[in-house]
Each structure stands twice: as structure tokens, then as C-alpha cells.
Amino acid sequence: MTKTKSKTKINEIVTISMFTAIICVLSVITLPLGPVPFSLGLFAVFITGALLTPKQALISVSIYLLLGGVGLPVFASFKSGFQTLFGLTGGYLMSYPIVVYIIAKTRDLLIRYTGSKYKFYYILPGMIIGTIICYLLGTIWFVFMSKNSFQYSLMICVVPFIPLDIIKMIFACFFSKIIQSLNLHIN
């Protein structure tokens, strides 16, 4: 392996690790709003998808889920374990790899389609689609686990979070623009 390839690989490992750590730290910050707590986990997923390649973003989120699954307290309210991943709200967590991949891939497709460089608003369509998928998969899982109706589950697991998730999207666009403007060569 050449020195340049080795340096690039190390840079990629460090970047993935850094974003995994960001997801771990932000995900434990919660505000209880019912059976599904408000957390900054999805915000961290938005930032990860906005700034990393689809592959890097997917690896970063997958490592986060694996760390939490094996017992590190990185899920909302410092929870951990596979019982959390497969518990009432596990569907929301398990949607994170899909969400982050959609954000990063949509951004890349828009860059390729328009022929321009990164624009912070290129991540917004992916965040909207990803959030809808997160809501859908998480709510279906919640219905399955809780035996509640889909409508009731939407009312307690999704509706209260819509305004908060819109705010997360706005802040993710804002912060990704700042980080990109610093020209840190993240991905």
C-alpha cells in the first residue's frame, strides 16, 4: 500500500470514528415526551449523512448501533443492549442506517445531477425522505411491539416530534454549511 493510500485510509477511519462518537454523544441527550424520548440522535444522523460519503455514513451509524447493542450506553437516556434495539422504540433506531444513506446518496445525486459543488440545501430532500422512512419503520415496529393501533402510535410517537425534527433539519443544514465552508476535507 502506498503512503498516500495508507494516509487516505487512516483519514477515513478517523472520520468514521469521529462521527460515530458524535452520534453516541448526541444520542444520549434526551427530553422525555412519552414512550419515545426526544433525543439529538436523529440530528447527529442528519449531520453524518450531510458530511460523509454514503459508505462512510452507513458504517458510522452501523458502528453506533453495534456499540449500543453490545452494551455501551449510547442510546437515548443512556440505554443500551439488544433489548433496546428490539424494544418499543427500536424501529426508529434501526432505521438510522437507511436514513443516513438516503441523506448522503441524495446529496451526491444532486451534486452529480446539477454539476455543482456541495450546497447545504442538497441534504434537505434526503433528510425529509429519511425522516418519513424513520417515522414509518419506527411506528410500524412500535405498533407490532405495543399492539396499539397505527393511528394511536402515530399520535404519540410521531406527531409531537414533527416540529422538533424540522428544527433539527434546519440546524443540520446550518451546521453542515459552516463545516463545509471551513473546508475541513471531511470525506
Res 7: pLDDT: 81
Residue 12, H or E segment: helix 3-27
The mean predicted confidence, pLDDT, of the chain is 92
pLDDT bin (cut points 50, 70, 90) of residue 183 is low
Confidence of residue 182 (pLDDT cuts 50, 70, 90): confident
What is the pLDDT, as a whole number, of residue 122?
A: 87
The residue ranges of every structural domain in the chain are 3-181
Integer Cα distance of 45 and 120 in angstroms: 15
pLDDT of amino acid 2 = 72
Residue 14 identity:
V
The answer to whether the CB of 31 falls within 8 A of the CB of 43 is no
- Say yes or no to pLDDT of 89 above 60: yes
What is the spatial distance between Cα 41 and Cα 130, in angstroms, rounded to a whole number?
14
Per-residue pLDDT tens digits for 101-145: 999 999 999 999 998 887 778 899 999 999 999 999 999 999 999
pLDDT at position 185 is 58
Higher pLDDT, 34 or 21: 21
Task: Give every CB contact of residue 106 below 8 A, 6+ residues apart in sequence.
Answer: 122, 123, 125, 126, 129
Kindly report whether the global pTM for this prediction surpasses the value 0.85.
yes
Q: Which three cell numbers stand for residue 40?
A: 439529538
pLDDT (tens digit, 9 = 90+) per residue, 38-82? Answer: 899 999 999 999 999 999 999 999 999 999 999 999 999 999 999
Candidates 1.10.1760.20, 1.10.3470.10, 3.30.70.1060, 1.10.1060.10; correct CATH number of 3-181? 1.10.1760.20
